[in-house]
Structure 1
């Protein structure tokens, strides 16, 4: 009997949080096609399951990711045969499909190269270990970032984005915090704990409201006027939910509220 290969991405449910762990430690979590597909399937699961409210993405070992496994990916990329999003999956970078509809909190450490930065840019809250090193070094490999860096990095500031995209130079966690790529920098070894705490805070809120707020913020990036026009109808719809009534009762009685997503 043929044994099944070890997963590149490990998925674990923690109540309403889906923990998604990159696990190719011997390759510094460099992504081959199989890892990309397994990650896409995990995002698809997060999106579909109504009991899941937040994704928590992290990596096993000392490094978040060494970027692409070019030995596996480059020939397929050149031939146009690279398949990132299998049936049932969602592109974690939101380039080849819509983005996941639920928030994603990311914890990074060690080396975080290329697609790791792009995953941070596609996530909603990022916590970095203070020793993390970043680099968007595709130009040094003769290609361009294709996971969304050219789409999202400039939103943080044109000059900062071009400084790092066009040189491929490495930068540290302090610089990542300064330019807004990460939201918190913590002592190495505590990044996952802190990211899990933030994911828990998000999961404790009204899930329909969280998803609506996320969708509104995303819609406002390309067209603030269209997003603004949708705010009152969305708020009216949310005000009629049971979770909104639970929140109102909690406010009046002073008792904690347990949101149920309806």
Structure 2
């Protein structure tokens, strides 16, 4: 494990081998989204994609909580003072779309993103979750989109993404009732893929990441891209798009190395070429 100099006071970044771990770090506020957190998140996504030695990303929260949603006052900068606050506000002014990119509404990392959820993952937390690829939850985790209960709209992408990720009847119940969902129910309806004992979600996510990291990175990234590209295409168009993404992978040195390693009974050494 090696540290990095990136991150902000509300978003920590560290390396675990080939995995970049992004931690929402505002536990006193249940990791509610703030300006420093959003800036740190977006920079973390960019860092992961720019660094070829990073093969996966794990997103988690500090203090036994994932994210309780948006802190509107903090986002508006009302609680931010000092030089750093001016920098964050300048970043937002320069890129008014930055918060949507941070929340994975208007940005999709090319590396796989694995969510490790403990405690509250509600409102904006559930919206960010929908931008991740693989999701692990502690047994006591809570999910939900509470916006309608407050007369608000879940504008982080949930009315579009949720019905594409889980059955429409479940999506509409979650969206229109604003009720909380426990981890087991979230897994049953397909919002998360795995439920583990409390306190072990991060370990489980890192284990998944290690399995991803052991695979050919060019193949992994092409597979992820193909899944999302073809998701809403008619089957014939989706299959054509899959061939366009997939065939070039077979021509890579990594593909040849994978075949050699299998024949020789050893672990493959992939070099992204």
Do they fold alike, i.e. is TM over 0.5?
Answer: yes
Contact 2:20/2:57, CA 8 A, preserved across alignment: yes
* Structure 2 counterparts to residues 228-243 of structure 1, below 5 A: 228-243=239-254
Aligned to 2:37: 35
Contact 2:226/2:245, CA 8 A, preserved across alignment: no
Aligned match for 1:197, one of 207, 224, 227:
207
- Displacement of 1:216 after TM fit? 0.4
* Structure 2 counterparts to residues 1-262 of structure 1, below 5 A: 7-73=9-75, 91-96=101-106, 98-155=107-164, 156-223=166-233, 224-262=235-273
Contact 1:18/1:56, CA 8 A, preserved across alignment: yes
Aligned to 2:3: none
- Displacement of 1:222 after TM fit? 1.7
3-state DSSP of counterpart to 2:108: coil
Task: Tell me, in whole angstroms, the C-alpha distance in 1 between the residues paired with 2:46 and 2:135.
Answer: 20
Give the direction of change, closer, same or farther, for the CA distance of 1:204–1:86 in structure 2 (3 Å limit): farther
Give the TM-score normalised by structure 2.
Answer: 0.86
Task: Tell me, in whole angstroms, the C-alpha distance in 1 between the residues paired with 2:202 and 2:231.
Answer: 29
3-state DSSP of counterpart to 1:185: strand
Task: Tell me, in whole angstroms, the C-alpha distance in 2 between the residues paired with 1:53 and 1:90.
Answer: 23
3-state DSSP of counterpart to 2:135: strand
Task: Tell me, in whole angstroms, the C-alpha distance in 1 between the residues paired with 2:97 and 2:151.
Answer: 30
Q: Which runs of 5+ in 1 are unaligned?
A: none
The range that moved more, 86-95 or 225-234, is: 86-95
- Displacement of 1:73 after TM fit? 3.4
Runs of 4+ in 1 over 4 A off after TM superposition: 81-90
Task: Tell me, in whole angstroms, the C-alpha distance in 2 between the residues paired with 1:84 and 1:128.
Answer: 35
- Displacement of 1:232 after TM fit? 2.5
Contact 1:64/1:111, CA 8 A, preserved across alignment: yes
* Alignment size in residue pairs: 253
Contact 1:246/1:257, CA 8 A, preserved across alignment: yes
Q: Which runs of 5+ in 2 are unaligned?
A: 1-6, 79-90
Task: Tell me, in whole angstroms, the C-alpha distance in 2 between the residues paired with 1:143 and 1:75.
Answer: 21
Give the direction of change, closer, same or farther, for the CA distance of 1:203–1:73 in structure 2 (3 Å limit): same
